[in-house]
Structure 1
């Protein structure tokens, strides 16, 4: 199970979980969209620049193969023929300039006529004029930095006779790029707003799912729940909708005899507690209250209820408590009530005796008063003396003395023959077992003789106890003058829950006595007694109830 010290104290945040989720999800969505938009716009700028360069190159190649332009290179004044052709093409293509030069780079065409006859600038003509390549370059000319397409001009013999340079200014290109990017940022902005709205919905839905609690409140509730579950005395076993164990507190482990370190979570409940019947509750969705069952060697009273959330069956939980503990508590309460009544009766009787002694003394008869006092003292001393002589274990002696006083208070004749003997030194487990066995048998005998007395008012209730430790077995006989029991019904009487007495949570004592007898190497039998009622005979192995050093002898 969960150990409480695993939980660390959680510092409460001043910012609510709804705002935290909104900020986190919104920031992630916005950051992702902005980064994506930045990358896409950067890529779009590259593509636009590449397209403009290819466009410039295409125009340059087209101009370089115009026959009229090629023939004009051999004219006396090439610029007069080439300039109009270049300007017309510049105007039609929207290029910043279309420059044509000879094989030495001297301009034959230029948008600014004053620069005709001068050398082309930029230093990027060698690939075309020397190697005959067509390419795109970026260089700074007389009109500014531009993206330029370069193409060589070949004559009919295939010789390089000139170069065509078509340029678009980078400033103009950047203006076009910015215009496209401004248009692309609008859907990105709308997507960011949509993401923030979605984050707001997620935050509100998340808050509803956790019942409006903050994380530190949930942590505190978990710690409180664990403390409550581990501190209550009742065992708790819960399963999920798949029939697997989801909760098992320390009391349940104790009652089931499961080690604290053994991990049973997420195991099928049938493997952990085969007779839990939680699967029935899970399938039927019905409550089961105050059901009696056995878990291991313990009789239990169990309540089983389904776990329903949102109209759906999510699991089931069982709470169980030891029926023996309930019986012991009920018995202790009854005994306490009986002790109060007994003390009240004894106080009344003692007061009467005091008045009697006082009266005898006032009448001048001290000898008779002294005899009355000695008579009362002798009865108590005889009871204590018998137990000291015949029973060496102080715990068993105390229990038997209490039963003798209880029998006297209830008007029952309780006798033990002088041949009784119990001198073996008992272990703590042996003491507990013999106390349970004798207490249950004597209480049953007392109840039986009182029932007989109610039916037959002239009968004297009598219970006799005999015990001996001779041989390898301890033998106990509890005989009563009650109505008796058919020995053939013994097997039925020993069944858990079977009882002939009115009231709830009965039918445990004899079943427990039989279990203890079997545990300590003995048995429980019954026969007709000499007093007219039943006689229960218990045998236990002396070595199993004695102290360790004696059991090895």
Structure 2
């Protein structure tokens, strides 16, 4: 059992070492590039060198054959040699001539034979008179051809030039064979091709050196990353771009879209990325202003704008390479969450202000009643109680009779209390009426619209520096008679200067001091546009500003669905 465990551990260790080696080899980009480029270059050089050297060997061998044939033709044309064929002993004349020519030309042998292939000359004198070996004399002796052949003779394998010997009448009387041994030819080929192989080897070494330099350069260009790391980073970047909450839109120097993430497509209502990429930015998002960044090369941060019905904050920056602007990228994040949070805070603040105002007001009244009772002025205390009760009863009676929606009635009651606390006289026009309850969205819209307009009006009316003794006044009128909802809020404040008449509806603009202002009127304006209406600004009869809001009647419930809705929404306190 122990031996098996030891073998298993050893196998596991060998597998890990092999895997580590494979992993290192496959992950080293520089080594991969060097080996790939070097091996490719070495293969090309070796193939080319082998072909060229083989071709050179063929040429050298052919030249040696032609040289042997030329020597044979020269020997066969010597008159003394031709005349010697008629001598009783031809070898006596032919052998010295053949040996002299053999030494001068460097041939291995110069053999001259008669028509029966009997030798008249040979480097070895003892072989004179013996038949020639090789069996390749027929073309010369029968056909009369001069040719080059390779055959194995008495001295070994040789490349031989053979030619017939003709007499004065043109008759074949013999044959001349001049040979160069193949090992000598191979030696000559090796001498002539060795330089080529050395050059190939040198080029392979230089090729690997260049491949190493190229791999180092590529490794530097890709910041020292391995291919699998680049792939992982690319996948991570794509996942991040598609998952972040901000929209991203990028263009190249030609103004064509090169990147758009999922959030940007959702904000802009774009088609799938494959249909958008490569399209001109002006055709897809005309108000992106990325072309301005591309032309000027200037950065733009925290720019507010609307994309469809989304309020967004946009950052635009140029993409630079080697000092040149190669493109531009815009990132934008939605401000809808901020607007929704602002609405929630406005509602919470409104409720808190209403409760605080009521607590403050009733605390003062209780202190007054307590003082009167301590002074034993019971009748005065009772008169004050009846006065406050009648005033509250009058307000609730008016709201009960003129406002059919309980949520709006509660909002107006809170604003009345808040205005009294600020020292502002808030009047609701006696002809105001809302005879139909609101839908849930209608309640949200009217609470936001009336709440913001009354808050701004009370703030403006409470500014006393523009008047001397006039009482701060705000007047509200609303009606659902006709095809639309109409709301008018006016005050006797300082009004809105004409140059600011349009700017006050822009998000972020405010005449009030302090930060985080300029949301209320912008929000009211957007709600009016979303619900088929509008908001206008005029000069009030009271001397200040008058805001008129028109909304679609779809914010009210269908009167037939309301049925026998009771008109009583507030019960008198007991």
Which TM-score band (shorter chain)?
A: 0.7 to 0.9
The more displaced of 302-311 and 92-101 is 302-311
Partner of 2:195: 183
Partner of 1:477: 487
Is residue 521–residue 544 contact of structure 1 (8 Å, CA) maintained in 2? no
Alignment map for 1:63-102 (pairs within 5 Å):
63-102=75-114
Q: How big is each residue's C-alpha offset from its partner over 1:347-403, in whole Å with a ceiling of 9 and x where there is no partner?
A: 7889999999999xxxxx9xx99x99xx99x979x97996899556xxxx6577456
The more displaced of 23-32 and 512-521 is 512-521
Alignment map for 1:392-411 (pairs within 5 Å):
398=407, 401-402=410-411, 404-405=413-414, 408-409=417-418, 411=421
Q: When the two structures are aligned, how many residues end up with a matched partner? A: 521
Q: Cα gap change, 1:269/1:29 in structure 2, threshold over 3 Å: closer, same or farther?
A: same
Is residue 445–residue 478 contact of structure 1 (8 Å, CA) maintained in 2? no
Q: CA deviation at 1:142?
A: 1.0
The more displaced of 126-135 and 412-421 is 412-421
Q: CA deviation at 1:312?
A: 4.0
Q: Give 3-state SS (helix, strand or coil) of 2:463's partner.
A: helix
Task: Please say if 1:138 is aligned against 2:150.
Answer: yes
Q: What stretches of structure 2 of length at least 5 have no aligned partner?
A: 1-21, 372-377, 562-574
Partner of 1:459: 471
Of residues 281, 286, 304, the one that matches 2:293 is: 281
Is residue 460–residue 494 contact of structure 2 (8 Å, CA) maintained in 1? no
Q: Cα gap change, 1:233/1:355 in structure 2, threshold over 3 Å: closer, same or farther?
A: farther
Q: CA deviation at 1:22?
A: 1.8
Is residue 161–residue 179 contact of structure 2 (8 Å, CA) maintained in 1? yes
Q: For the residues of structure 1 that align with 2:188 and 2:233, how far apart are their CA atoms?
A: 61
Q: Give 3-state SS (helix, strand or coil) of 2:178's partner.
A: strand
Is residue 449–residue 480 contact of structure 1 (8 Å, CA) maintained in 2? no
The more displaced of 334-343 and 295-304 is 334-343
Of residues 454, 458, 464, the one that matches 1:445 is: 454
Q: For the residues of structure 2 that align with 1:135 and 1:449, how far apart are their CA atoms?
A: 125
Q: CA deviation at 1:525?
A: 4.0
Q: For the residues of structure 2 that align with 1:245 and 1:261, how far apart are their CA atoms?
A: 10
Partner of 2:548: 537
Partner of 2:41: 29
Q: For the residues of structure 2 that align with 1:541 and 1:333, how far apart are their CA atoms?
A: 26
Of residues 58, 67, 83, the one that matches 2:70 is: 58
Alignment map for 1:503-542 (pairs within 5 Å):
517=528, 521-527=532-538, 533-542=544-553
Q: Cα gap change, 1:530/1:87 in structure 2, threshold over 3 Å: closer, same or farther?
A: same
Q: How big is each residue's C-alpha offset from its partner over 1:472-514, in whole Å with a ceiling of 9 and x where there is no partner?
A: x222213232427579779735764565444678667656655
Q: How big is each residue's C-alpha offset from its partner over 1:316-358, in whole Å with a ceiling of 9 and x where there is no partner?
A: 2222334555444455556656766766777788999999999
Is residue 495–residue 543 contact of structure 2 (8 Å, CA) maintained in 1? no
Q: CA deviation at 1:140?
A: 1.0
Partner of 1:121: 133
Of residues 47, 52, 64, the one that matches 1:40 is: 52
Normalising by structure 1, report the TM-score.
Answer: 0.78
Partner of 1:4: none
Q: Cα gap change, 1:65/1:489 in structure 2, threshold over 3 Å: closer, same or farther?
A: same
Q: CA deviation at 1:183?
A: 2.4
Q: CA deviation at 1:308?
A: 3.0
Q: CA deviation at 1:141?
A: 1.0
Q: CA deviation at 1:464?
A: 2.2
Partner of 2:245: 233
Q: Cα gap change, 1:483/1:165 in structure 2, threshold over 3 Å: closer, same or farther?
A: same
Is residue 118–residue 130 contact of structure 2 (8 Å, CA) maintained in 1? yes
Of residues 168, 191, 194, the one that matches 1:156 is: 168
Q: For the residues of structure 2 that align with 1:340 and 1:184, how far apart are their CA atoms?
A: 98
